[in-house]
Structure 1
């Protein structure tokens, strides 16, 4: 999905995952049917391309891409089944328990570690002889979303990230000719906007999607490189300084309480084009939203402002994974390779899906130059924590950081509390 933040946290989902864990031991390894003319096969592929009634992507898949693949591989048919995004993970987990998984899944990047932990996926880094070549062609941040416990369980399928978005009205109000490139620029912009009724920045939460770009862009980190410890990293000096900047702006009235969960506050999608907010961080889907609601609005796109580190944003998107129970592993791998091809990636770019392969970025930009800033930001973008409990991390961050913004605790203490709660999730203890 766009933000890939809707990781399942409900009691029903937890029960479904527990059910799969209990039944996974009976999952048998799939066979290697290759879909030759003498041994034809049908691959079942689940995804949410039509989510929200958007038929453009689903039509491209069903009417153009799958037929092209089937023509090139006459022994293989692909049966795509569209499932609402909000139902897909639960259907996957319950289907795994019942032994009725599809061959292939377009998975939210946050689900791959969960499914990998349950043992229902084939590690592509083990099964595909050309995995190294395919993986090196993708954005590193997107690829990393597939890694769990030392293996890669999928390949990136489509991607996105967040960049800074502002407007000419905001720049004029602050007396600036270009968007803020650094933390100091953002603070100076805030000072110039005092008394104008325009907040310098707005965002809709304090989860990883929201705060990681600020931490990384100040040279901070979330965990150690081995993803086993948050304490000493999430609450390190550079991480604290990045969040302290946001807290200071919040206390100055320059960031609205939308960031702390005020559902009544103006949304970022409305606040930027109406001049209530000067800057936001958001993704490539905003063009379509504003094109429908604010036809005259002309957004200006720029890299995430940086402090002591390079401008770094956060990765979103989907991966393609192969289930361990598939009876057509070899044929399924052929389709996975097809999804990494220029024809697949560029045809999907025409529907608004950003390519995961930097080599295709120029052809993507030829479709719409709008993508260029996002493609540039993706070169350094990083993934959120690729662990099965990713949704819990977001909850921990929101709960721990809100008191720092409202003034009842310090940023250092808030991040220390969060780190101490995240540590056991990293080690599984």
Structure 2
């Protein structure tokens, strides 16, 4: 979305926010639950997962119809702005981890504290790192459904070929850069045949990777609504990413035709990867030998960090069916639903009880991801987080490509992220 388009959407959101207090939507059929599902694929798989959620919900509310809208994340804020302006608010909104505070600040979602949910209850079932992103002003505004980690992996055989110890992953940023240089291979014409490090990112798509490096450097995105990513930790994180690109260890914006992680495809010695890898010998699988060759690890510098996104569920602030909305949210929390959405989202369940499930333990990447959710670094912030989300890609690219310094790029991005504090 362009800066001008974003500004228009944000202006619409700001305008409709003022109409929410004391306003009740004209719902039409009061026995219809309206649900907004972000990044829920409108295909056979998405429909099947959705149908199963509705079936679980209908066990408690058989007479309540469910009407769902599926939208991509890039259209989510505009969709909500339009619905609020039209007075047709949603009862349940499922979005990404970073959307809780912006949606709460806009009045689109409300506290769950009076609807049978509590922080104490959540602390018993999910990993501690998932609690803060669910809170607004100390109250619970959403619940996590699945986690979407980006794990790191390296090829044991590539390490050995480069003269590196395959049992010793890089322990800090300096070692990461040095190992990436050693792993990079070229043909006789100087073309890269094996990248040393793969960010698994398209142009302007390095935002989540920056969050991972920022967390490893000991930094954080926001302190409430105040940006904190423009401090020395952020500069070190972005400088390290720039160095990996500048020295040729990483190919800026390169993705293979399948858009899969290069390290799992055998095209990079090390890099970001999915929390699921198909180890089968059939079509789409990488085979048992390649699976055994991959070693998973987390970024480290000042601390261990694993970037983790995820899906949340929240209740519409103006819902006239709060009990039914709460039941639909619980249907999304159901263990079977978490597993089904994890498959669809390429993620892992957030419930601690799922840690030893066959779904998790049947895959080495999923096993590593779940075992390290305690070091999850998430992309969220204050009510103005959407500015960072929208502008972060191109702002970071300017530094990654040497068009500006990391300090200046982050300073400009932080100023933009203060525009709605």
Shift in Å at residue 134 of structure 1? Answer: 3.4
Please list the CA deviations of residues 206-240 of structure 1 after superposition, one character each: whole Å capped at 9, or x if unmatched: 643011212221323444x444242xx6331x443
Superposed, which structure 2 residues align to 1:264-413 within 5 Å? 269=260, 271-273=262-264, 275-284=266-275, 287=278, 293=284, 295-296=286-287, 298-299=290-291, 300-309=294-303, 311-349=304-342, 352-363=346-357, 364-366=359-361, 368-394=363-389, 397-407=392-402, 409-410=404-405
Please state whether the residue corresponding to 1:313 is helix, strand or coil: strand
| Aligned counterparts of 2:266 and 2:339: Cα–Cα separation in 1 | 35
Deviation at 1:264? 8.4
* TM-score (norm: length of structure 1): 0.78
Separation (CA, whole Å) in 2 of partners of 1:24 and 1:193? 52
1:66 aligns with 2:54: yes
Task: Quote the residue 1:21 is aligned against.
Answer: 14
1:47 partnered with 2:47: no
User: Residues of 2 paired with 1:111 and 1:9: CA distance?
Assistant: 19
Give SS of 1:298's match.
helix
Query: 1:191 and 1:103, CA in 2 relative to 1: closer, same or farther beyond 3 A?
Result: closer
How far apart in 2 are the matches of 1:369 and 1:207? 25
1:79 equivalenced with 2:66 (yes/no)? yes
**Which residue, out of 124, 127, 149, partners 1:139?**
127
Q: Which residue in 1 is equivalent to 2:189? A: none
User: Offset of 1:59 from its aligned partner?
Assistant: 0.9
Number of equivalences: 398
CA contact (8 A) 2:180 2:196 kept: yes
CA distance in 2, matches of 1:102, 1:30: 12
Distance verdict in 2 for CA 1:23–1:265, change over 3 Å: same
Pair 1:397–1:77, CA change in 2 (3 A): closer
Matched, 1:415 2:407: yes
- Over 3 Å counting, the alpha-carbon distance change for 1:143 and 1:256 in structure 2 is same
Give the secondary structure class of the aligned counterpart of 1:379. Answer: helix
Equivalent residue, structure 2, for 1:112: 100
Structure 2 counterpart of 1:255: 250
- Structure 1 residues 141 and 157 mapped into 2: Cα distance closer, same or farther (>3 Å)? same
* 2:88 alignment counterpart: 100
- Offset at residue 306 of structure 1 (A): 0.8
CA distance in structure 2 between the partners assigned to 1:404 and 1:169 by the alignment:
33
CA distance, structure 1, for counterparts of residue 314 and residue 341 of structure 2 = 18
Secondary structure, in 3 states, of the residue corresponding to 1:211? helix
Contact 2:98 2:133 in 1 (8 A): yes
Unaligned runs of 5+ in 1: 1-7, 32-39
Q: Please state how far the C-alpha of 1:279 moved relative to its aligned partner.
A: 1.6
Instruction: Pick closer, same or farther for the CA change 1:266–1:343 going to 2, 3 Å.
Output: closer
Unaligned runs of 5+ in 2: 187-191
Q: Per-residue CA shift, 1:269-328, capped at 9, x if unaligned?
A: 26435544222213336659997556448352512231222x212221221111122111
2: distance between equivalents of 1:131 and 1:356?
A: 16
What RMSD in Å do the two structures reach over aligned CA positions? 3.6
SS across alignment from 2:148: strand
After superposition, the Cα gap between the structure-2 partners of 1:255 and 1:105, relative to the gap in structure 1 and judged at 3 Å, is same
